[in-house]
Amino acid sequence: MRKIIHIDCDCFYAAIEMRDDPRLRNRPLAVGGDPGKRGVIATCNYEARAYGVRSAMASAYAKKLCPDLLIVPGRMSVYREVSAAIQALFHDYTPLIQPLSLDEAYLDVTDSQACRGSATLIAEDIRRRVRETQGITVSAGVAPNKFLAKIASDWNKPDGLKVVLPEEVDAFVRDLPVDRLPGVGRVTAQRLHNLGLDTCAEVRQWRREDLYREFGIFGERLWELVRGIDERPVVVERVRQSVSVENTYEQDLPDLQACIAALPPLLDKLAQRLGRLEGDYRVSKPFVKLKFQDFTQTTLEQAGAPVTPAGFEELCAQAFTRGNRPVRLIGVGVRLDSSYSPMGEQLTLF
């Protein structure tokens, strides 16, 4: 039986801004881009969330929801420094750490002798030390697996702790709304609701093969999740799955030719990121992402497509036909395979 802790910093970027400038506290605050230049909200504090402001929301729309919202630019170097300090602190408890981003991570403390071997006491000690050393708060979830620990860390936010003991797993999962399950996005949730499945208890009534027939391979995963089953280990060395860059334009790109003309600077940035990539990777396939004027988006990738400017132009042309309307954002990237190839295909991009 594993002991897994999920640590999640509370509104991380915004918390650091409020820490460094106390005048920002107790007012709606977001970290993000300029509303006049199609900026996007990276994160916001809880005062802003009360108005419906959320991360990944257009800054201009956020200002409509909350006219008093103060949007400040991000300071990534500061955020990385704080994140590194918190990650270093984790190593006092266990070497089994899987960072998910700058502001969250899984810890496997199954064999840790810290805090008398109590995962709950370890989580409490981490929360105390982050508060005292970094001046921000984190929430923690403690559970027998990663799936439950992540849900638990969000249970009593902000500055909260939720523990799911092994004997509590069945009852805890049974009453969970299906929307809380990892991998259940808006579309899948709606399909479940249309089938009259709103809670894990209701999904449990379906046989494994019926879920597979309805949802494909995710149906197998769904059958396990609604029973609290998650055998994924905490992975210490994360394998990079992709590298990409994207840009949101101040003015919509009106047609395909304008999109093609916008590709070269994006490909230059992509080449730079690939050049800085540490580890042995092989490019498996390129992809292009387009977000259209109406905020619908599409991503097109193709195994075997040439990782060259001409190859990305062809993908862009095919992706554009899916919307055939002005484009507000373009992203380009490549999927990666960690099996080493000494002369990776990415060299053709240069």
Binding-site residue numbers for Mg(2+) are 8, 103
Show binding-site residues: 8, 103
Catalytic residue among 47, 104, 124, 214: 104
Instruction: Find all residues with CB under 8 Å of 160, minimum gap 6, and list them.
Output: 139, 140
Q: What is the DSSP track for 77-107?
A: HHHHHHHHHHHHHHTTT-S-EEEEETTEEEE
Q: What is the dihedral of CA 214, 216, 217, 223, to 10 degrees?
A: 0
Cα–Cα distances in angstroms (integers) from residue 107 to residues 25, 97, 117, 128, 236, in the given order: 31, 5, 13, 16, 9
User: What CA–CA distance (Å, rounded) separates 251 from 255?
Assistant: 12
Catalytic status, residue 132: no
Cα–Cα distances in angstroms (integers) from residue 44 to residues 37, 49, 76, 82, in the given order: 18, 7, 15, 17
286's enclosing H/E stretch is: strand 282-292
Q: Could you give the residue numbers annotated as active site? A: 104
